[in-house]
Structure formats: C-alpha cells, structure tokens
Amino acid sequence: MSKPLVEKIAFIGSGELAESLLKGFLDKKFISADHVWMNNHSNKERLAQLEHEFHVHTTQSKELALKNADIVIFAFRPADTRNAVEEMKAFLRPDQLIISLMVGVPTAFIQSASGIDLAVVRAMPNTSASIGLSATGLAAGASVSGAQLELAKQLFETVGTVTIVQENEIDVIAGLAGSGPAYLYYLAQAMQEAGVREGISEESAAQLVLQTLLGASHLLNQSGKSASDLLKAVATPGGTTQAGIDTLDNQSVKQAVIDCVHHAIVRAKEMSAPFA
C-alpha cells in the first residue's frame, strides 16, 4: 500500500509518548521533520529540546500548530481536555483527523467540547513506538470514515502493530499494552536484582536478563508456539526451571499479573468518569 500524502502533523502536547511517536514516524519516514509541528502551552525548554533534536517546528501557539494540519494528535493530560479543546475549537476543522492519546476521554466528549463534528480516533500506543515496536489499539469515533481509520492505521503501523477495537474496549488496550512495557521492566528489574544478590555483577546481571528477555520474546513471536507450549517445553520436571516456576506458582505470581492488568484497566475506566 502506498504511503498516504500527509502535508502536516501537529502534536498538541509534547510529553514522552508524543516524543516516542515522533521519533518512530520520522525514523520510518512516514513524514519529514519539516512537516511536523510540536506544541505545548508552557514548557519552552521542552520545545527547544525537541526542535534541536528532531528539527521539527515548535510553537506555543495552538492556532499556528493547527493551521493546515491534516492530522492533529492530542497528547496532553486528560484533565486538561475541556480547556484545551475549548481553546482550540476555533482552529479545528471537520476534515482533520484527530487522534487522541488520552486515557479515559471518550470521542463523544471531545466532539461535545469542541461543538464540531470532528473525526476522532482514540489511539493507545506504548513507548516502544520510539523503536518501531509499539502494540497500538485504535478505536474510531462516530464521525470517522473508513478512509480516515485506514489513515490512522497506516500511521501507527509505521511504529509497530495495530489492533482495531471498539471504543468500549480501548481501556483494555490501555491496561494491557499501553502499560505493558512497564510490567516487563518490573520483571527485568527483579531478575537483575536476583542475579546481583546471588553474587554476579550488576553489569553481568543486566546483560544476561536483557538478552534472555529479548531471545524469549523473539522465540515466542517466531516459533508459532503459544506461551503455554514454550513454558511446558522448558520447564522439565525436577529441573531448575521448574523449581523457579514452582516458586512463582506458590507466590501466586500469575494471579498477581492478571490482577495487575485488571487494576490498570479499572483505573482507565475510572479516569473516564469525569467525562461521562
């Protein structure tokens, strides 16, 4: 499929996730830096850093950022939504594709706050977008056309995989994939600390854990086998791996992970309450 013609992308908000997406879009050449505008309302130093590192346009003027933008990415705090949208509504257009990264903010609320029949797609990527390996969920609002959803899909496929869901399922994506990298970082940290406690250097532990997680994820992706199948193959009865797995089972770690994801999803749903 040919790359869509996008003349301008505007980021409203310039935090870590916005930077991860920006880096991914530029690295995969979806758009060139001189066609990207980054905006935030108060942090001039942050904008200067982004301009220096990525050579994009930066501005504190929402009007300037939004002017002639084909795609507008809302990347500000959910709590700022009402004020930000009301501030922007004079500069937004129905033909623009609005992509909202904000957890808990329904597309209907954005439309209502703007007073415009905006085409809003909710996106839940994760910070692995910066290296082209995000797992992103997309959900289309009521006014999004098939072509616009396809454009959003093409955009996020440049930074990883895309799963299309209904809007009432997007909170699951937030808790599972959006927060998911942090769960693996948590596991990696624990494994590294275990290695150091057992007598190897911090550097060696970090290298071993990194390669172990990298290899396991690639094998899971490429072997065609399920996680359950691979676990059974490696955890032979009476062996070292089974001894470790028995400890995890005794500590109810699997249930803890399930609860971890569940509570992240519950929190995402709680965050939507002010916008009902």
Asked if residue 75 belongs to a known ligand binding site, the reply is: yes
94 labeled binding residue = no
Is 91 labeled as ligand-binding?
A: no
Distance of CA 236 to the CA centre of its chain: 36
What residues have CB less than 8 Å from 74, skipping those under 6 apart?
A: 12, 13, 81, 84, 98, 99, 100, 101, 102, 110
Q: What 3-state class would DSSP assign to 100?
A: strand
76 is in an annotated binding site: yes
Do 135 and 180 touch, CB atoms closer than 8 A?
yes
Helices and strands, number each (H, E), in the chain: 12, 8
Is 100 a known ligand-binding residue?
no
Beta bridge mates, 272: none
* Cβ atoms of residues 163 and 137 within 8 Å: yes
Q: What is the C-alpha separation between 137 and 126, in angstroms, rounded?
A: 10
228 is written with which tokens?
A: 């359950």
Interatomic CA distance for residues 156 and 150, integer angstroms? 10
Whether residue 151 is annotated as binding a ligand: the answer is no
Check the annotation: does 195 bind a ligand: no
Q: Determine whether the annotation assigns residue 63 to a binding site.
A: no
* Listed residue (29, 122, 41, 118) closest to 74, CA to CA: 122
Q: Is 238 helix (H, G, I), strand (E, B) or coil?
A: coil
CA distance 157 to 3: 11
Q: What is the Cα Rg of the chain in Å?
A: 21
**Residues annotated within a binding site:** 12-17, 75-78
**Residues annotated within a binding site for NADP(+):** 12-17, 75-78
